[in-house]
Amino acid sequence: MVGNIRALWRQFPVKQVTVLAVLLSIGPISGSTRNPFLPFLTHDFFPYLKSNQIGYYAGFLTSATFTGTFLGCFMWGKLSDIVGRRPILLSSATALLVGTVLVGFSFSFLWAVGVLFFEGLLNGTLGVAKTYLYEICPPKFHSFAFSYTWLPDNVAHFVGPILGGFLACPATRFQTFDKPFFKQFPYLLPCAVVACLQLCILIGGCIFLGESLDKKPKVDYISLTKISTQDADEDDKEKPRRQEESTCSLLRDRLVLIPCALYALFALVTICGVQLLPLLLVSDSQHGGYNFDAAEISIVLTTIAIYGTATHATLNPYIASKFTYKTVFLSGVLFYAVGISLLPSMVNITGAVRSQQLLQTANSSDLTLNFTAAPEQFSTSPLVTESYIQPTTELNATVVTGQCRLAGDRRKTSQHQASELPARVWGPLLAVVLVMEQGTAQTYLAVTVMVGNAGVQSNRGTVNGIAQTLAALSRLVGPAVSANLFAWTTDNGLPWPLDHHLSFYLVAVLCILVAVLCASLPASSNLPRADSLTLSEGEDEREEDQEEEEEEKLSMHFRTRDGKTWIDGIDDNDDFETNYLLPPNVT
């Protein structure tokens, strides 16, 4: 038994999967490092904006990355089918490294937007990495390999925020860095530290990462005639047209489009959920929230990351080994739909969190965006407006930039230590959030394998490029639509379900539509696909090739002597052609 297990695991490419997993962490650690100081970076560009307006401008920075990703994903996937997976992975990692450094040197909003756009445009890592992983692992290891690969991603989400939050604005925190250079570029230090880590990872990738694309042409049968130079030139001219036709055939193939659409639609579901969760938690109890501050939200997100790290290489591969990928996908979507439906009603189950004291925050350096409690608690305060988010700066307030704080912050807030929150709040809330996380992990694991199953080695990079392009489009649209819809539902004064529940219910409805679309997939999506572009076209191509081969053999010159038949000009003693190549009607 033990010997069989050892023999089985010898087939698993541990080295290549580990190298790829570490290489993939370059992207997440870059993005997660920026998250803590992104609002302050935006505030430095627009110091007189209200705090609720900062979020819109910060959203442009995030959207710039997804816009570039949307435009570049398909190109990198297609290019990886031509030049190989390894060059694309290494060049994309290099682009992320350069982009990380350039963000640290941001001196204007347009500069930051441009850098993040080109960082997304030149980053073809994710789609090509999935193709690479699919090709180097036997099918029985796909579920474990895809889960194992995302472990460094979760670690990056631990390390990145710590580096970004602790090392940003070093001139105001560490006497050693109290220099004019770091005052001019207050966000360079965390970006530089991350870039050094990325450089070490990139060097390791250049040394140890292998190629997965087999570039050797497959020979169907031995050529019996000399190919003229003119024929070769004609074949070279035909290649671009054939590649274009193959891409069009992929876009017409439902066995490719449905998995790609499932991936993109669930990406829309998850990006909306990621956007709505913090908006709900910081809201007052009247709108389904708990008046959480940044620290309490970070506890929720950290718990999600810890759970994901623990289950990615244990529970999820086990589930995938016991059920089909289609079943795993459907159950994951169901988990997410249940969780997102319960989320806006959790305050009714757990009860609202009531503040025990009101704190005055002047010149706060710890809070990114400080949300006030419900307006009725401050009915006597002249600072309260119709918006629950107060202005960052008031008239004649001192403008402070490069210090990782919002100047003139004199807003009254309702805060409480995370340890003071009762278990009746943390228990049910974290349970629902973890149900959503489990659904997310299962669904992405299953759909990633199904997208890989939809293609073959010659076009798998293109298929993953299509999926990543559609997903990037979803991530472009999702945050803006969900955030604005939630803001409208909190102000419309309409009853249930048109109040704050509406945006969450619409995401749940989208989950149901995704499940219905998945149900239309045939059972063959659970297995690697045959080596053809499409099932129908593959059969047609094979028939055409057989007909051409028969015609070519019939057009050859044969000689017959002593009851034996052979091709003119071939050694008489070699009857290989007679036995294996001649059609039966040639005598």
Q: Where exactly are the structural domains of the chain? A: 10-212+254-349+423-526, 543-580
Which letter, b or e, does each residue of 80-118 get, where b requires 16 or more Cβ atoms within 10 Å of its Cβ? bbeebbbebbbbbbbbbbbbbbbbbebeebeebbebbbb
For the ranges 205-214, 312-321, 437-446, 574-583, the maximum mean pLDDT occurs at 437-446
What is the spatial distance between Cα 312 and Cα 558, in angstroms, rounded to a whole number?
64
Cα angle 78, 83, 89; round to 5: 80
HSE-up of 475 (CA within 13 Å, CB side)? 22
* 216 C-beta neighbours (distance < 10 Å), count: 5
Grade residue 3 by pLDDT with cuts at 50, 70 and 90: low
Grade residue 400 by pLDDT with cuts at 50, 70 and 90: low
pLDDT reported for residue 490: 75
Backbone phi and psi for residue 336, each to the nearest 5 degrees, phi listed first:
-65, -40
For the ranges 3-7, 116-120, 484-488, the maximum mean pLDDT occurs at 116-120
Mean pLDDT (whole number) for 554-574: 53
Which tens digit of pLDDT belongs to each residue from 239-248?
A: 444 444 455 6
Mean pLDDT (whole number) for 516-523: 85
pLDDT reported for residue 55: 53
Whether the per-residue pLDDT at 207 is higher than 70: the answer is yes
What is the spatial distance between Cα 407 and Cα 409, in angstroms, rounded to a whole number?
5
pLDDT reported for residue 454: 76
What is the spatial distance between Cα 6 and Cα 2, in angstroms, rounded to a whole number?
6
Mean pLDDT (whole number) for 529-536: 49
Contact 95, 122 (CB under 8 A): yes
pLDDT reported for residue 533: 40
- Structure tokens of 423? 């278990």
pLDDT reported for residue 336: 93
Pairing mode, strands 558-561 and 564-567: antiparallel
For the ranges 154-168, 192-206, 242-256, the maximum mean pLDDT occurs at 192-206
Which tens digit of pLDDT belongs to each residue from 327-353?
A: 999 999 999 999 998 888 877 777 766
| CATH H-level superfamily of 10-212+254-349+423-526 | MFS general substrate transporter like domains (1.20.1250.20)
Contact 455, 259 (CB under 8 A): no
Which tens digit of pLDDT belongs to each residue from 269-303?
A: 988 888 788 777 777 777 677 777 655 776 777 78
Which tens digit of pLDDT belongs to each residue from 359-386?
A: 433 333 333 333 333 333 333 333 333 3
pLDDT reported for residue 311: 82
Ramachandran assignment for 226, one of left (phi > 0), alpha (psi -120 to 50 degrees), beta (any other)? beta
pLDDT reported for residue 408: 45
Which tens digit of pLDDT belongs to each residue from 187-200?
A: 888 889 999 999 99
pLDDT reported for residue 359: 40
What is the spatial distance between Cα 150 and Cα 317, in angstroms, rounded to a whole number?
12
Which tens digit of pLDDT belongs to each residue from 102-115?
A: 988 988 889 988 99
pTM reported for the whole predicted model: 0.63
**Average pLDDT of the chain?**
71
What is the spatial distance between Cα 86 and Cα 216, in angstroms, rounded to a whole number?
16
What is the spatial distance between Cα 479 and Cα 270, in angstroms, rounded to a whole number?
10
Residue 353: which of 374, 384, 325 has the closest Cα? 374
Whether the per-residue pLDDT at 100 is higher than 80: the answer is yes
Q: How many helical (H) and strand (E) elements, i.e. helices and strands, does the chain have?
A: 23, 4
Grade residue 169 by pLDDT with cuts at 50, 70 and 90: confident
DSSP state letters, 522-557: -GGGGSPPPSSSSHHHHHHHHHHHHHHHHHHHHTS-
pLDDT reported for residue 98: 92
- Amino acid found at 348: N
Which tens digit of pLDDT belongs to each residue from 28-79?
A: 888 878 877 777 787 788 887 655 455 566 667 777 888 888 888 778 878 8
pLDDT reported for residue 515: 92
What is the spatial distance between Cα 27 and Cα 518, in angstroms, rounded to a whole number?
29
